[in-house]
Amino acid sequence: MQHQRLMTLLPALPDEPQPSPIPLQEAIDLVTQELDGRQLQAEDTLLQMLDCKNMEALLQEQDWFDERGPRSKQQLQERTDLPPYMEEFVVQWEAGTISGPYPFDALWRDYFENLYETGARTHSRFLMESAIWETEVRNGLARQRAANLGWEAEPRLLAPQHGGPAIQDLMMQVKEAATPLAKQRVVDQARLAAIDEMGAQGPFSLDAVLRYLAKVLVLDRWAAPHETNLKEVLNQLG
């Protein structure tokens, strides 16, 4: 299915970190109305990023919740309609069987694995390539932070692979940035550029719709810079 009507309706997005011209919730609503069947599964899996952040906050008893995630606070609290990987993680968390210095690494590893698998099932090259890129970036950031703090990097890695030259160059730019917020800006600038190159390049394809939504997710972080959650920024940076 070609999504010409939707993609011509949506406003153009900036190519650098700044507030989005369309609020995230509005973008989600418009996209959801347009998709059906496996396409909705692809969208839901991408947006499970918000569910994972919410679940992480709930399990740590943090006092915030992003209502724009696919699953409500009640659903996450009552463990209803959870993706299988998230349900399994919660069971292991509550049983105290998750090892490692940062247990939520396991949740994010499973999220990206599920993102890749869903991309394969729904014929979305974008989801598959996004899962690979994000895993490589997060691994690079984990190695960098471990080196700075004198930690062992391997337990923090989402997967064993190393990123290619582009990822290594990005890590050098991150290292040179002066503050956590500046580091996040470097990563998000690269993330926006990478998103544009991922997936099927037709302007009205499912991948085009998912690319758009992924970019709004990135830009949403910069909607109110003065309210930026420093803890989230640090977590994003490994």
Please give the Cα distance from 41 to 59 (Å, whole number).
25
pLDDT over 90 percentage in the chain: 74
User: Which of 29-43, 127-141, 168-182, 220-234 has the lowest average pLDDT?
Assistant: 220-234
The average confidence (pLDDT) of the chain is: 89
Q: In which band, very low, low, confident or very high, does the pLDDT at 98 lie, cut at 50, 70 and 90?
A: confident
For the chain, the domains span: 4-236
In whole angstroms, how far apart are CA 190 and each of 51, 83, 132, 171, 235? 24, 29, 14, 11, 18
Asked if 78 and 70 touch (Cβ cutoff 8 Å), the reply is no
Q: Name which residue leads in pLDDT, 80 or 232.
A: 80
- Tens of pLDDT along 3-28? 999 999 999 999 999 999 999 999 99
Q: Of 71, 80, 38, 39, which is closest to residue 52 (Cα–Cα)?
A: 71
